[in-house]
Amino acid sequence: MVDASTQTDATDEITPTDDDAANVLTLVPSSFSASRSARSRSSTPHRHLSSPPPPLPRSWVLLGALRGGLDLAFRNELCSKTYERTNMSIIVLHAFAYSGESRRPFACDPANPGTRNLQFCKASLPIHVRVQDLIGRLTLQEKIRLLVNNAASVERLGVNGYEWWSEALHGISNTGPGVKFGDAFPGATSFPQVITTAASFNTSLWQEIGRVVSDEGRAMYNGGAAGLTFWSPNVNILRDPRWGRCQETPGEDPHLVAQYAVSYVKGLQGGSDSGNTGRLKVAACCKHYTAYDLDDWNGFDRYHFNAKVSKQDLEDTYNVPFKACVVEGNVASVMCSYNQINGKPSCADPTLLRDTIRAQWHLNGYIVSDCDSVGVLFYQQHYTRFPEDAAAATIKAGLDLDCGPFLAIHTEQAVRTGKVSELEIKYALANTITVQMRLGMFDGPSGPYANLGPRDVCTPAHQQLALQAAREGLVLLKNIGRALPLSPQRHRTVAVIGPNSDATVAMIGNYAGKIYSSFKKERPKQ
């Protein structure tokens, strides 16, 4: 296997032979064997990109993109520029001039005289003092409506509603309701799928991608088009290629997945500057905790699956990336999964949540359920007899936020019947509101990222980084007969054959942002 940093130099000397057309070529951007092949590469991941790598021959990028399933190549070279290609469908993202107004402050608007002197609005005070002050002003009903992803406003305190669910797996995505493309933000930079980027074995690249994504996330938040809590990355261990979500993950190696997680989280949240208690640029979330890699197979689905896992496998394999996220990456959130682990739903297991994530790893942030997981453990898994029991079980286990309506509907009854205390609800809110405070959401309109706007989304530099990631993620498995690089003198036409030859939308991957089709196939002239 050729190291990514020397890949071009090592092959530039190859001269195509006369019988290139008969040679068999296998070129893929990523595969499930990529991390197994890591031992053939340098044992130490790249940590510094002192200069951009030399450009790969364009035929390599083209073949890798269309034959191997790479979701990037030409489509992301420049958002605002298009490239004509014959008989190819090119997907591009467009950036337009900003003409809208900025988002009004989430809370503590200086123009609101009713909140100007409230303690939780005083940015000079310690965050924990401000959090306690705000929670102390809330009624039970107001507290409960803040336990779900579409948190309600508290108008009497000048706090607006907030949608916690935004996605940024490989670029800002509108998969969650927190992101709205259109007007000044018609799209965002899309990076290669994670399984490709991870194959670069380049930690500094992963962190730089996170930094760029967070720039665009902050810009969209300032323009009212996104939240600041992004439920990414997916750090599940890939153990079965039949899962169907393999492309979302860095692969099957716990160490590689952990290093990717740490790098991407630091890039998103602000690197070492955020620390364990400091401010956040955006809040990342490592998901789905834990032993989760089955959607629908052989009569089992993710809503009913009980993963029987030994303590050693949890410690040595499945929990490795999550521990790294919390301990090394200082991630602001962890998402629990739908499945059960050894008979207990992940989101209702105090050993997994309260005792491990919070007590052992010292998460400084919040724990959120996968969407409707609390409802799933009651309605599908029948884990409790009554819905208020399910609400109480999850909150007591350490869940702070429900992606879904279940806690908003059933928590009050759980309090009234003594199954969960209002103090435990306060603990949950303290974790979520602390993250919002660290994001500066209670500091009014000012802040270190207030200047970011549409001009900072989908920039040429961001697009170049996406192209670089695509090139570094290519994995050359075979070059039989020294078929590469192709000779432009001998090979004027390249035929791309197979099911992925024109699967441009599929190659972009899931959890991707809004895309624009700028080219259509040309029909041959009759």
Mind telling me the catalytic residues? 370
DSSP 373: H
* DSSP per position, 33-95: TTTGGGGGS-SS-B---SSPPPPPPHHHHHHHHHHH--S-GGGGS-TT-----TT---EE---
Q: Which residue has the tokens 């989304």?
A: 457
Nearest to 400 by CA among 106, 135, 157: 135
Q: Do 465 and 200 form a contact (C-beta atoms < 8 A)?
A: no
Nearest to 491 by CA among 68, 59, 10, 74: 59
Angle between the 254-269 and 203-222 helix axes, to the nearest 10 degrees?
Answer: 40
* DSSP per position, 456-509: GSS-HHHHHHHHHHHHHH-EEEEEGGG--SPPTTT-------STTSS-HHHHH-
Vertex 73 angle, CA 194 and 17, to 5°: 115
Nearest to 227 by CA among 401, 93, 362: 401
Q: Do 508 and 190 form a contact (C-beta atoms < 8 A)?
A: yes
Q: How many residues does the chain have?
A: 526
Q: Hey, what amino acid is at 187?
A: G
Collapsing DSSP to helix, strand or coil, 301 comes out as: strand
Nearest to 368 by CA among 389, 328, 338, 341: 338
Buried b (16+ CB within 10 A) or exposed e, 45-68: bbeeeeeebeebeebbbbbbbbbb
